[in-house]
Structure 1
Amino acid sequence: MELLKHQNSHLRELAAAAILSLSSAESNKSTLASSCAPNLLSQVLCSGSVQARVDAVTSLYNLSTSEHEPKLVLDAKAVVPPLISLLKECKKYSKFAAKTTFLLEILSSSEQGRGAITNVDGGISFITLVVDHASPKEMSCS
């Protein structure tokens, strides 16, 4: 986790990739979700390379699918703008778009999340466009 805090962006990106690997195992999800990893991954969403941001989204998605407590908790105000930005940059019907949309769906379950989504210029209309035009198969994250 300390590498995600490092000033060197290359080290942060390597740490995000390592968290991605760790977040793939169910046995690691609750430990990672309760650590500082989600907040640090949120920072990578804002300032990382394309690959680091993809790794961060995928890690957050993996952590959000944990079957155990504690569940993933994210700061919607910090996470929603870069998620919508990434959604606008990626192919609308990719698995990556599906994972990003899934995270936004989770965030929309809270008042803070809905407010954050509403505050992003064009956020709701873009999310609607992605969801309306994707088939269930395209939006499947599995």
Structure 2
Amino acid sequence: MVVWQAVPYIAINLYAATTQVDKSCLEAAQLDGCSKLRCYWQITVPLIKPSLMVITMLSVIWDFNVFNQIWLVSQGGPRETTATIGIFTYKKAFVSFDIGTGAAASVLVTLILLALTSVYIRYLLKSGEDL
């Protein structure tokens, strides 16, 4: 996914998560002398960490799977400067007819995303979140 296309999704989700933070926690910290920046980093961010994890995982998966926009605009060029793993896999398998390398790259990407997802699920289970 092109970077700017994910901005509305990320912004709305982060805004929704921050509006759900308990105001009494922030007020108590401010009464104890906590600055706005410190309140944000030590209270708000830990409370919205599950939302941050979901947004991060989805962004990584989307970024690994970006193909259409890059292929239609530049086909990974000039000199492969805008090529992603998806473009590399497509070119290897269907342009160069090196099916084995293209399939291996696809399997490798699938395994990487599976590993990242399993780390995220392990984090959820460890923190007591419901799946």
TM-score relative to the length of structure 2: 0.22
Larger Rg: 2
TM-score relative to the length of structure 1: 0.21
In proportion to residue count, which structure has more helix? Answer: 2
